[in-house]
Amino acid sequence: MSEKNVRLQKIDAYRWLIEPTGGMRVPGIIYGDEVLISALGADRSPQQVANVAHLPGIVKYSLAMPDMHWGYGFPIGGVAAFDTAEGIVSPGGVGYDINCGCRLMTTRLLFDDIRDRVSDLVTALFQHIPSGVGSRGQVKLSPREEKAVLTEGSAWAVAQGYGEKNDLETTEDRGTMAGADPDKLSSRALERGRDQLGTLGSGNHFLEIEVVEEIYDEAAAQAFGLVKNQVAVLIHSGSRGLGYQVCDDYLARLVKHMGETGIELPDRQLACARLDSARGRDYLAAMACAANYAWANRQILMHRTRETFEKTLGKSPREIGMRLLYDVCHNIAKMETLPVEGKEMRLCVHRKGATRAFPPGHPALPASYRAAGQPVLIPGDMGTGSYVLAGTRKAFEETFGSTCHGAGRVMSRTQATKASQGRSIVQDLAAKGVIVMASGKGTLKEEIPEAYKNLDQVVEAVHGAGIARKVARLRSIGCIKG
């Protein structure tokens, strides 16, 4: 299918249709307002939305959120669900950083309590939390311990003293994905995971100190424990080298054997396996291992953050009061029961650069959040901050319980590096009231604020479309990056 055949038709203020042509089995729908859609320019992600619609077993639509941009096979921001009879699983629909996700912690502190200590906190966090390409943590795993991490996820970390049992209550799926089988990982993947647990990583991964700036939904904010001027910490990290290797290994395997499946693909990057095939089951078992590794990783990062706050500020755990509001994953394929045309269906939902957004009343949510809906965490660029939203019934019925995951890039890393020449990114951000530290200057150049879409516009699009609702906005005051 050539790109000129991908035409977007406006459905309403926040939805755009790609009608089925050629081998498309379902329509494509892209979320975004006029400004966001017009800003896509030469980005070929709408073509990828159409390409995904060719895959067997796809249900209803191929979807993309307003933070969408070009990715491997699936667009980043892409969502697609597949039935269990004919459907497939595709590593390109999950992404290389399996279970890359966000974890938001609130505290009892207000901004005035740390106004003069932000620099100290950022420096201490940078010193105590390993970051950067290939960074190694203080947790050294034996082969037996690594397999326990891969099957138990966050629960393993808590059992080792990295946090509290309450942390599991407010982690998506309690921080453990069932069906993980370490025997489905290559020796190289296991090797890469052995010494990277408790590390932040590089690129768009970060740890950010934030302050609650605005409340939009008082009832939901109260349920989530958010108040104005409150200090919070947002962590964005994933499964590190282990997850990357799992994706790389299985893409190579599936591309090699695509001729055996009888599935015609418009793009070889969509290489996939039937859900009921041995290769499909193997990938899901390996992906679950990487997902569990990522949850354990963020759990340990949170524990280190708690310790650093307490030591730096000289306050007790009770005075700091750091608690996990929620942890959400972005890059994942999950078996979920969802409404389709008025009936409950068991589906394999791919969310690549997209966030689960389950509605009020859903049994998967902690009891204290059920009246409000699932917390949805949407970070922006490092000079902006983030939003907390809540899942809705409309998302459950219209987007397979999914919404956006961030601001979304508008510049490649090469373009951003070129655009940042001659500037001091540290000074630019300091002028905005944000103290930032990074392992390498190259990361800051790649992650300049203008490399991303306008976070407020992206959030307004999902809020206006009704697939998440605004609860609170937080502004950044300090950030560490790899």
The residues annotated with a catalytic role in the active site are: 405
CA dist 62 to 29, 43, 51, 325, 419, Å?
Answer: 6, 17, 9, 31, 34
Q: What is the DSSP letter of 142?
A: P
Joined tokens for residue 200: 């932040």
Q: At what angle do helices 278-313 and 143-152 cross, to 10 degrees?
A: 100
Cα 438 to the chain's mean position, in Å?
Answer: 21
Task: Please give the Cα distance from 110 to 353 (Å, whole number).
Answer: 31
DSSP string covering 258-289: GGGTT---SSGGG--EETTSHHHHHHHHHHHH
Joined tokens for residue 233: 């910490």
Of 328, 306, 295, the closest CA to residue 224 belongs to 328
Cβ atoms of 126 and 306 within 8 Å: the answer is no
Cβ atoms of 106 and 225 within 8 Å: the answer is yes
Q: What is the DSSP letter of 241?
A: H
Task: Please give the Cα distance from 339 to 114 (Å, whole number).
Answer: 46
Helix (H) or strand (E) holding 389: strand 385-390
Task: Please give the Cα distance from 72 to 352 (Å, whole number).
Answer: 10
Cβ atoms of 240 and 169 within 8 Å: the answer is no
Task: Please give the Cα distance from 206 to 362 (Å, whole number).
Answer: 30
Instruction: Identify the sign of the CA torsion 104, 169, 369, 76.
Output: positive
Give the residues across from 389 on adjacent strands.
376, 470
Cβ atoms of 420 and 451 within 8 Å: the answer is no
Helix (H) or strand (E) holding 301: helix 278-313
Cβ atoms of 354 and 404 within 8 Å: the answer is yes
Q: Break the chain down into helix, strand, coil percent, rounded to 5.
A: 40, 25, 35
Of 200, 207, 192, 236, the closest CA to residue 99 belongs to 236
Residue 182 CB coordination number (10 Å): 20
